A and B are shown apart, each in its own frame.
Chain A
């Protein structure tokens, strides 16, 4: 294997790109309280190039899954746009997007139709894409099953007869059967036991190398992210607040939120105790995004300026950070 494939080095035009993508929802604020606007994703730029494994991390409610659904073409952005292979995703048919971008979801218990057999679940994308050679479907499905570590004899079994790990292999086979370019893995191993998680992670890495895949990995498990990803985007209340190469991010996190996230990773090292992340008990609420920097209520380093002015992205190495601490022009003016 080439060094580029091993490191997942990225080159070429982005397979998929979000430009200022935003999505709002109107949600009920409670009985008789009318409607509120929820800004799930609030102006996100993200480009994923061939061979990359880009990880999207952040707490629940930060907009990871909404962004993923926009990238999959399942949800139109309220503003900004999504480009797939350089073309606006709105101009592409649903079927064309599905040909290029495929999802693997968290819970293999709910993402597979319980009334369809393994074989028909994995065959469905052929039908959806109107594959011209139905005579070869069975053979190609069986080959894909073998590739993801499922015995061919399971072809006629139903999901209820499979273990969690086997179900996730079915979901992976279904995603890969039409050889997409990008696979969006949304918490692919969170519902699995530790010993099964490692099998699925190994499989995803093997498939990436052998099929030349590109991944967007959504995960709250930063140990998994560090193991799999080449680049990491940290999301907070609808915005990407820091983006960097994986090694750089883990070695020198810049955004205070990234630092708190990394501190929260409990590595199996006895004697080190549980760290105090200094985040306080405030909880991010996408219905009431704070003014100024959206992280300031939880930030130990926040100053008055942070409460009133929203930071803009500041280039940093191969990525960027969105925090006033790194704004050189402000550092001169702000009192310490």
Chain B
């Protein structure tokens, strides 16, 4: 294992763009996304389907579909640039210093190999170790992620495990080489709520123990609130708001963030039969050139200026926000005191 640095920047992403050619033109899936993750920190990227959150993660891992085009001003893992690195250099890093956990473990586990084989593979590929040492580490990690009778499981195949156990195996596999960064894309969406809570509890615990940077991608605001150090809210390919979990949930500044929070029922807060907030309209098409705020078409506070030019991601300091609380809305200061969009829209 390499020496574990307990602090410092793990991942820096600046002005990441991903485009995909489609029959109707060019789809701008990710449009200038910037974020960073430190050791011991959990960044949650939250947004609805099609907002670009998964492609952002795949772009960092260099796992984009071959027809996609990626550009970035900076894309660095522990100070080393990933943007210009060749395929072999990336292959040396992936599964080693950064690892990814996917939504559906069954699609990322090979059904023809035993759990043990698949766990050991990463270590044998990236480290000068023998099979025996690799097996020891696999056993240690299966045990650590809470898999009962781990020794027996090493010789089993993925289909012999339940969904929750498979996701634990995926986590153990990601940890094999002691990565500095883990990207988890909807790691619990396919699981039952009880298993979801267990897996997230485990992830948070391991992330602290090994002082890793964790990027967790989800659509679930409950998960975000409970696990995130910092949050990036994505909409239509852009980060529209970013800040600490505390800031995002106690003082959401972007109309989209405010709208999303109004949509979800919260036991003990929303009363039965009360109307939930809604966000009318649909996500704009990401094909072709766009101008102005992407959310303008659905925003209850939209003004003429919103549609005129690109809206920068800027601090909300003047509204009492924190230094690292950034918002992509030219009216955020004006609307800060106004009622939530749901109340404004629903009579």
Q: Which residues of A contact B (CB under 8 A)?
A: 6-8, 59-60, 163, 193-195, 197-199, 201-202, 205, 220-224, 226-230, 246, 250, 260-261, 263-277, 279-283, 285
Contacts and interface: CB of A to CB of B under 8 A. Distances in A.
A221 B267 CA distance: 11
B246 A266 contact: no
Contacts of A260: 194
Interface string B261-292: 11111111010111111110010000000000
A260 B264 CA distance: 21
A224 B270 CA distance: 10
Nearest to A221: B193
A221 B220 CA distance: 11
B197 A266 contact: yes
B60 to A, nearest CB: 24
B146 A281 contact: yes
B265 A264 contact: no
Contacts of B219: 193-194
A45 B66 CA distance: 55
22 contacts: A59-B195, A193-B49, A195-B279, A202-B275, A202-B278, A205-B273, A205-B275, A227-B272, A230-B272, A260-B194, A264-B194, A265-B222, A266-B222, A266-B225, A269-B225, A270-B225, A271-B246, A273-B204, A275-B197, A277-B197, A281-B165, A282-B148
A34 B76 CA distance: 55
Contacts of B198: 276-277, 279, 281
Interface of B: 48-49, 146-148, 162, 164-165, 168, 192-198, 200-201, 204, 219-228, 245-246, 248-250, 259-268, 270, 272-279, 282
B23 to A, nearest CB: 16
A6 B266 CA distance: 19
B146 A270 contact: no
B48 A194 contact: yes
Contacts of A202: 275-276, 278
A202, A267, A272, A273, most chain B CB atoms within 10 A = A267
B278 A198 contact: yes
Given A268-B249, A281-B148, A228 B197 contact: no
B275 A228 contact: no
Nearest to B227: A274
Contact of B278 (A195, A246, A261, A277): A195
A125 to B, nearest CB: 28
A224 B264 CA distance: 8
A275 B201 contact: yes
Which 8 A-B residue pairs are closest in the complex by CB-CB distance? A266-B222, A227-B265, A198-B276, A264-B197, A198-B263, A195-B279, A270-B245, A193-B48
Contact of B201 (A60, A197, A221, A276): A276
Nearest to A6: B273
A266 B226 contact: yes
A195 B275 contact: no
Given A260-B194, A274-B201, A283-B165, A268 B225 contact: yes
Nearest to A220: B193
A282 B250 CA distance: 37
Nearest to A260: B194
A281 B164 contact: yes
Contacts of B228: 270
A116 to B, nearest CB: 23
A226 B267 contact: yes
A221, A222, A270, A275, most chain B CB atoms within 10 A = A270
A85 to B, nearest CB: 27
B52 to A, nearest CB: 14
A246, A265, A268, most chain B CB atoms within 10 A = A268
Contacts of B225: 266-270, 272
A8 B192 CA distance: 28
A224 B265 contact: yes
B199 to A, nearest CB: 9
Given A195-B279, A266-B197, A220 B192 contact: yes
B49, B147, B225, B267, most chain A CB atoms within 10 A = B267
Given A198-B263, A198-B264, A246-B272, A268 B222 contact: yes
Given A222-B267, A275-B197, 10 more contacts: A59-B195, A205-B273, A223-B264, A226-B267, A227-B265, A246-B272, A270-B250, A274-B201, A279-B194, A281-B148
A261 B272 CA distance: 20
A267 B201 contact: no
B300 to A, nearest CB: 13
Contacts of B275: 202, 205
Contacts of B197: 263-264, 266, 274-275, 277
A8 B146 CA distance: 43
Nearest to A247: B272
A250 B269 CA distance: 12
